[in-house]
Amino acid sequence: MQTEAHPLVNKFQLKEDLNPVFPMGVPWVRYFGTYKDLNINIIWPGKDTILGVDSVGTISASLVTYASSLALQPDLIINAGTAGGFKAKGASIADIFLASDVAFHDRRIPIPVFDLYGVGLRQAFPTPNLVKTLNLKVGKLSTGDSLDTSPKDEASIVSNDATIKDMEGAAVAYVADLLKVPAIYVKAVIDIVDGDKPTGVEFLQNLLAVTAALDQAVTEVVDFINGRCLSEL
Ligand code: ADE
């Protein structure tokens, strides 16, 4: 979302690409620049062209991941954003998680092997030194296209053994895997899925504070990556 991306654009002193590498008319926005020894691109899926709200969810996430990976050939994708957390699995508001695995919870296809295809389990690029140095929490991430959690979603999330829930991670993972780009998932807990507050209300209440925590964590992750090769992460 814009609220998540803009503080990082400022922090890394990135500029908007006014001659986009993307097809004409799409709302996707690329900010780019150098920070320390790194070339950084922040890709924001932009506002929905019809309704004007942030483009969230798996469709825009997979499209921008595909288009920007082809155009920019990144060494690493960092999918950063907010997520719902499960207190029963140890998540609290403003916790920062690095996902170990990602999977979908709303693609139910009860036919042998298609069931596994629907779940789409993928592992994040392993970063043991990053986790240890920054003292990040690690957990499994489950992705679906709804902010709320239906009983069927909940059963799949339990079966995915997930601690956090978002609307993009597994879609990014699918594309990153297709294009063989290493990907990591940095998620800040903004609402407690198994808590007593309505998700939308809790999300909006915590948005500014948790976005600040996310941006701080992403800066620390980028600072750690700077000067290291992938195998040292
Ligand atoms: N992003 C932030 N909170 C979320 C939730 N509860 N479900 C899905 N995506 C989210």
Cα 30 to Cα 18: distance, rounded to the nearest angstrom: 9
Q: Three-class SS of residue 153?
A: helix
- The model's pLDDT over 19-51, given as tens digits with 9 standing for 90+, comes to 889 999 999 999 999 999 999 999 999 999 999
Active-site residue set: 4, 191
* The model's pTM: 0.96
**Ligand 1 site, residue 165, Cβ cutoff 6 A:** yes
**Ligand 1 site, residue 199, Cβ cutoff 6 A:** yes
Which pLDDT score, from 0 to 100, does residue 3 have?
81
3-state SS record for 39-100: EEEEEECCECCCCCCECCCHHHHHHHHHHHHHHHCCCCEEEEEEEEECHHHCCCCCCEEEEE
Which pLDDT score, from 0 to 100, does residue 4 have?
82
Ligand 1 atom closest to the Cα of residue 146 is 8
**Ligand 1 site, residue 57, Cβ cutoff 6 A:** no
Coarse DSSP helix, strand, coil percentages of the chain, rounded to the nearest 5 percent: 40, 25, 35
- The model's pLDDT over 43-97, given as tens digits with 9 standing for 90+, comes to 999 999 999 999 999 999 999 999 999 999 999 999 999 999 999 999 999 999 9
Asked whether residue 208 carries a pLDDT value surpassing 90, the answer given is yes
